[in-house]
Chains A and B, each alone.
Chain A
Amino acid sequence: MSRNDNESEPAGDEIEALLRQTGARLGPPAAVTEEIRRAVHAQWQSVAAGRKSRRRTIVFGLAASVAVAMLALALTFESVSPPAPGPVAILERIEGALDILPASDGATPVQAGRAIVAGETVVTDAITRAALRLAGRISVRLDSNTTLDVLAQDRLELRAGTVYVDAGPPERGYSPLEIVTAAGPVRHVGTQYQVHSQDGHVTISVREGRIELARARGPEMARAGERLAASPNGELARATVSADDPSWAWAIQIVPPFEIQDQPLTVFLEWTARETGRTLVYASPSVEAAARDLRLQGSIANLTPEAALAAVLLTTQFERTESNHNLIRIAERTQR
């Protein structure tokens, strides 16, 4: 230490001695610092960008109001505004605080039920997830740190992050959807799958049905249980992924609300099996018939599918009896 920097008063020496006795404060680990910095930085950029966008809107609004007033004089009977684009999706559930760009009103937090119009971008930060439903009835869930451009009701662009798509059971038919990624557009055939994109690396995991990745050298298909990994240099690798792989778990945390009121138990059980990636079986045809005849009352709001299944079965004469974790097996409750 350079002594000539020290103050001459004796109290300075006491402060030095006290701090030496106390020792250095604990510093956060470098890896944690870096990870948190990235997450906080992304949120800060989103906040700052939203404010800039709102300021531009206000400035434009002032200029536009003058222009519109002048045009109104000249074009009394003509509309000067382009037709507003219609909604192409609706936000079904938000866990955290979502940003939708371009921001129109920073004072009002985005809430479930808000319509999304073509051209808007949905952004989740490190602690936010969201579920939206496209007009074609396809459920699209956004994991944290995801930026998704909604281009049309059947076309999305994944700029970064992870989306999970559930186009519904194959027997119900399917609505087309194309997800534009750095590796090419991904199209599905009645399926559940997720697409992850980060720095040009794209991974597509298929849980049910099949998808097609359109590439310059021809389409690549992936079926249930397969995972395609495309690197920025064009290489493609295949791997396997089970329906209950931990990588699907986040999508269950943001599962859209499911109304059980007056639904047959079988419909609820099919939904649970689909959400958890398991196969539903009944102990006998008579058990299935009895489950179909049973109408449910109440709500499973805010419960995960697993928790909802446990809660609902407790109120019925049925129970789970599976010994294989890939199954949900329903049987009549045994009397004890």
Chain B
Amino acid sequence: MTEQPNAERKLVSGMLDGEERAFSEFFDDYFPRIYRFALPRLGGDPDACKEVVQTTLIKAMRNLASWRREAALFTWVCQICRREIVDHLRTVKRHAGHVVLVEDSAEMREVFESIAAPAAQGPMQLHSAAEMRRLIQSVLDRLPARYGDVLEWKYVEGDSVEQIGERLGIGHTAAQSMLARARTAFRDALETVFDATAHDLLSGLRGGE
């Protein structure tokens, strides 16, 4: 999968060159994902989340030129966010028991970070239906290049391919092709993270209720 690093490189380069369109693309794509990344780790505190995410993205802007592409751009921003969360919790000492999510374990982090280029398979113990839903949403957030948005618009919000194309400013064929790539990436990611197919997960979710 070499397409994604190139897209990220182009995005960062456009931002460093002062292209407004590149900034909008970055913010619209990354801000909601980082927000969702931070919120559960801050015990669901929206004020803390706002402060931490703002600081994270400002630091990301400040250090954009130092992004070395060893990690996916989202992983890099998440690393900044993790440090901000730790600093915040240390300062307020509000959450005595630091919030640790299942995807924060070393094993799961490795698996999540490999989503952009699936490689090693990691066994996944099944969790409650609610936890499964949250993990599947985390998988959507970790997919590259707005694939998560495209899948959600199509299958949850019910947008047509034309509407998706309009939302992204691309033509029908490009939108259809992106949707196909998004489905493949999502299916691969599910197998990487859960060691299970969409069919298995669906059965698990339905059976868990």
A residues adjacent to B (C-beta < 8 A) = 1-2, 5, 7, 11-12, 14-29, 32-33, 35-37, 39-41, 43-45, 47-49, 51-52, 97, 106, 125-127
A36 touches B57 (CB 8 A): yes
Within 8 A of A (CB), among B78-110: none
* Cross-chain contact B50 with A17 (CB below 8 angstroms): no
CB distance from A94 to the nearest CB of B (A): 13
> How many Å lie between the Cα of A21 and that of B208 in the bound state?
12
CB contact under 8 A between A39 and B54, given known A15-B198, A48-B18: yes
Question: With contacts A12-B183, A47-B16, A125-B58 known, what are 7 further pairs, Cβ within 8 A?
Answer: A1-B158, A5-B161, A23-B133, A33-B32, A41-B27, A43-B62, A127-B55
Is B58 a contact partner of A39 (Cβ separation < 8 A)?
yes
Q: Nearest Cβ distance between residue B103 and chain A, in whole angstroms? A: 15
- Of the listed stretches B68-76, B118-126, B149-157, name the one at the interface; the rest are far from the partner chain: B149-157
Tell me if B39 is interfacial: C-beta within 8 Å of chain A.
Answer: yes
Closest to B176 in A: A5
Max chain A C-beta neighbours (<10 A), residue from B27, B31, B58: B58
CB < 8 Å neighbour of A25 from B141, B179, B202: B141
Q: Is B193 an interface residue (CB 8 A)?
A: no
Write the nearest CB–CB distance from A5 to chain B, whole angstroms: 4
Residues in B neighbouring A12, C-beta threshold 8 A: 183
- Are the CB atoms of B62 and A47 closer together than 8 Å? yes
Q: From A5, which residue of chain B is reached at the shortest CB distance?
A: B161
A37-B27, A44-B61 known; A26 vs B39 contact (CB < 8 Å): yes
**B residues in contact with A21, CB < 8 Å:** 133, 202, 205-206
Known: A1-B160, A18-B205, A24-B152. A127 touches B133 (CB 8 A): no
Nearest B residue to A33, CB-CB = B31
Check A20–B23 contact: CB distance below 8 A. no
CB <8 Å contact, B186 and A5: no
Distance, CA A21 to CA B155, complexed state (A)? 10
Specify which of B31, B155, B176 lies most central, judged by the most chain A CB atoms within 10 Å of its CB: B155
Please give the distance in Å from B137's CB to the nearest CB on chain A.
5
Contact A22 B27 (CB under 8 A): no
Contacts of A45 in B (CB 8 A): 18
Q: How far is the CA of A39 from the CA of B16 in the complex (A)?
A: 17
Looking at the assembled complex, report how far the CB atom of A27 sits from the nearest CB atom of chain B, in whole angstroms.
6
Check if B31 sits within 8 Å of A37, measured CB to CB. yes
B155–A19 CB distance below 8 A: yes
Shortest CB-to-CB span from B59 to chain A, Å, is 8
B161 touching A19 by the CB < 8 A rule? no
B residues apposed to A, CB below 8 Å: 15-18, 23, 27, 31-32, 35-36, 39, 46, 50, 53-55, 57-58, 61-62, 64-65, 133, 136-137, 140-141, 148, 151-152, 154-161, 176, 179-180, 183, 186-187, 197-199, 201-202, 205-206
**Contacting pair A24 B156 (CB below 8 A):** yes
User: What are the 10 closest A-B residue pairs judged by CB atoms, nearest first?
Assistant: A48-B18, A1-B158, A2-B160, A19-B155, A14-B198, A28-B35, A43-B61, A40-B57, A16-B155, A5-B161
- Among A24, A44, A47, which residue has the most Cβ atoms of chain B within 10 A? A44
Provided the pairs A28-B32, A41-B23, A44-B23 are in contact, do residues A14 and B199 lie with their beta carbons within 8 angstroms? Answer: yes
The one of A14, A33, A52 in contact with B202, judged by C-beta atoms closer than 8 angstroms, is: A14
- In the bound complex, residues from chain B placing their C-beta under 8 Å from that of A40 are 27, 31, 54, 57-58, 61
Contacts of A52 in B (CB 8 A): 18
| Cβ–Cβ < 8 Å partners of B161 in chain A | 2, 5
Residues of B close to A27: CB separation below 8 A? 32
Contact residues in A for B179 (Cβ distance below 8 Å)? 5
Query: Across the interface, do B202 and A48 meet the contact criterion of CB distance under 8 Å?
Result: no
Task: Give Cα distance in the complex from A5 to B173, angstroms.
Answer: 11
**Contact assessment for B54 and A126 in the assembled complex, using a CB-CB cutoff below 8 Å:** yes
Interface-central residue, A24, A28, A37, A45, by most chain B CB under 10 Å = A28
Which of chain B's residues have a CB closer than 8 A to the CB of A26? 36, 39
- In the complex, what distance in Å separates the CA atom of A32 from the CA atom of B155? 27
Interface centre among A7, A47, A52, A97 (most CB of B within 10 A): A47
Cα of A48 to Cα of B199 in the assembled complex, Å: 47
Could you list 18 A-B pairs, sorted by A, with CB under 8 Å?
Answer: A2-B161, A14-B198, A15-B187, A18-B205, A19-B136, A19-B155, A23-B133, A23-B156, A24-B157, A26-B36, A27-B32, A28-B53, A37-B27, A43-B58, A43-B61, A47-B16, A47-B62, A126-B54
In the bound complex, CA of A145 to CA of B143 (Å): 34
Contacts of A44 in B (CB 8 A): 15, 23, 61, 64
Looking at A22, A29, A32, which has the most chain B CB atoms within 10 Å of its CB?
Answer: A22
Contacts of A49 in B (CB 8 A): 18
Q: Is the CB of B176 within 8 A of A15?
A: no
What residue in chain B is nearest A19 (Cβ atoms)? B155
Give the distance in Å from the alpha carbon of A5 to the alpha carbon of B160 in the complex.
7
Quote the shortest CB–CB distance from B44 to chain A (angstroms): 10
**Which of the listed residues B65, B157, B179, B202 has the most CB atoms from chain A within 10 Å of its own CB?**
B202
